[in-house]
Amino acid sequence: MSKILIRGAKVLGGEPGDVLIDGGTVAAVGPDLAAEAGEGAEIVEAGGKVLLPGLVDLHTHLREPGREDSETVLTGTRAAASGGYTAVFAMANTFPVADTAGVVEQVYRLGREHGYCDVQPIGAVTVGLEGRKLAELGAMHDSAAGVTVFSDDGKCVDDAVIMRRALEYVKAFGGVVAQHAQEPRLTEGAQMNEGVVSAELGLGGWPAVAEESIIARDVLLAEHVGSRVHICHLSTAGSVEIVRWAKSRGIDVTAEVTPHHLLLTDEMVRSYNPVYKVNPPLRTDRDVMALREALADGTIDIVATDHAPHPHEDKDCEWAAAAMGMVGLETALSVVQETMVDTGLLDWAGVADRMSVRPAQIGRATGHGRPVSAGEPANLTLVDTAYRGQVDPAGFASRSRNTPYAGRELPGRVTHTWLRGKATLVDGKLT
């Protein structure tokens, strides 16, 4: 592997400089590294683009095994590389469910074979995601996949005893339970956020308290047990306040927000377009503003995509019958730029923290979320922050097209991604 000289890049949005990659490692960072690079080095003219550590997504649905009509590990990791990601955590709601060492090892090895980004499987908390019996947490952790994050995402671990046992079990090896906070009895028949819009449209309402009550219970359980709990796709202002309170008590809780919950509101549902149907549902303007502020002040730790691909027929139907979920890997950074950077709530160092450093720390993703400095793995993302363009799903690397941003103008474009010094994306094209 030859040397690569990234010339004139703004590392974390700072002053332009050079970054030299040698093999799979950052060899040097500083002004005018041409002499150190030597004559045979590959030159990438950054021209003032922003260089970030490779992004890490703690919440991705790759669908394989079982729903390869929606996504595969190959297409999902290609989408990830297109969006600037060098590592993703694959959710357990596959077919069969990733509740055994065998299934998580299959997903892990598929990621290694395809090589567009690292894939770290998330193990199910309960057998079959049924919420009745703990899955093989220890066996999944001890497997080749080395699972440290466990979640029944798509379903809530609503039994408090099961949740307590899971927290106790993962504590032994420093794992974390990532909870999909949804009290099922409060959301029976729910189609969208409960509020003025749901009342006007006559759609079943999904109350904020269905999320908030589970978060309140689980942070108290985590405090009681002395274990780690992570809140998936937090979506309400009330949830923010509960997490903020829990952190003030020293409870070991982390939380994520999706890009779509930072930008979109329940007003979009007036179109009855199922592309806006997602779990948890799009909330109000007040919730969106609270989520942005919480991400800025660190109450919410990370941005996670909840990339949820579906085939055309599962979304192109009447609202009530449509599947929930949106794809997000290829647009996440642009949405964060629009909602957080261009509004002055975060700088690019803050984006690197929320989309690379912290998710890597929460998930224990070795070699990712590291500083852009000499001696560190060359997992890097180059972003043209001056770019603005319309989202065209036809150009997605993902197998699915269920994006809420089709035709919408968004800022920023990932031009290059490197995984351990190997280019997976060059000039916006997958290698």
Q: Which residues are catalytic?
A: 306
Binding site members: 59, 61-63, 93, 153, 180, 233, 279, 306, 310
Of 306, 180, 195, 154, give the one whose Cα is nearest residue 239.
180
Angle between helices 208-225 and 237-248 in degrees, nearest 10: 10
> In sequence order, what E strands does 250-341 have?
253-257, 302-303
Binding residue numbers for Zn(2+)? 59, 61, 153, 180, 233, 306
List strand residue ranges (DSSP E) for 23-116, in order. Answer: 25-30, 42-45, 50-53, 55-60, 85-90
Q: What are phi and psi of 302, to 5 degrees?
A: -145, 165
Residue 408: count other Cβ atoms within 10 Å of its Cβ: 14
Q: How far apart are CA 62 and CA 81, in angstroms?
A: 14
Contact 52, 356 (CB under 8 A): yes
The token pair that represents 235 in the structure block: 């979506």
Tokens 């106790």 -> residue: 168
Helix (H, G, I), strand (E, B) or coil at 83: coil
d(CA 358, CA 254) in angstroms, rounded, equals 10
**Strands of the sheet with 253-257, listed across from one edge:** 149-150, 176-179, 228-231, 253-257, 302-303
Residue 366: phi, psi to the nearest 5?
-60, 130
Q: Which residues sit in the known binding site for substrate? A: 61-63, 93, 279, 310
Question: Do 305 and 57 contact (CB within 8 A), yes or no?
Answer: yes
What CA–CA distances, in Å, run from 345 to 209, 258, 382? 27, 16, 21
Six-digit token string for 39: 């004559």
Tokens describing residue 369: 């979320």
Neighbours of 48 (CB within 10 A): 13
d(CA 232, CA 182): 10
Q: What are 9's strand-pairing partners? A: 17
Amino acid (one-letter) located at 66 = G
